[in-house]
Amino acid sequence: MMSLFAAGVAATARGAVVPLAVLLPMVLAGSQILSTIGATKEMVRYLPDRAGMRMLTVVPAALTR
């Protein structure tokens, strides 16, 4: 998801400064800040930290039966 967004921003800007200015805060701010913004709430669950958290969550055996 982020790579497609990065490719779109880079293609639109046709330079290096604008994509860096857009993408670095997005990566460094993390999903905590982005989840408070209404327009990005749905996209936040696909960011790497949230996706990794979901993959590594252990479900107790009692709940899987």
Q: What pLDDT does residue 21 have?
A: 81
Helix residue spans in the chain (DSSP H): 2-13, 17-34, 41-44, 48-55, 61-64
pLDDT, residue 57, reads 83
CB of 45 within 8 A of CB of 32?
no
pLDDT < 70 regions, the chain: 1-2, 29-30, 61-65
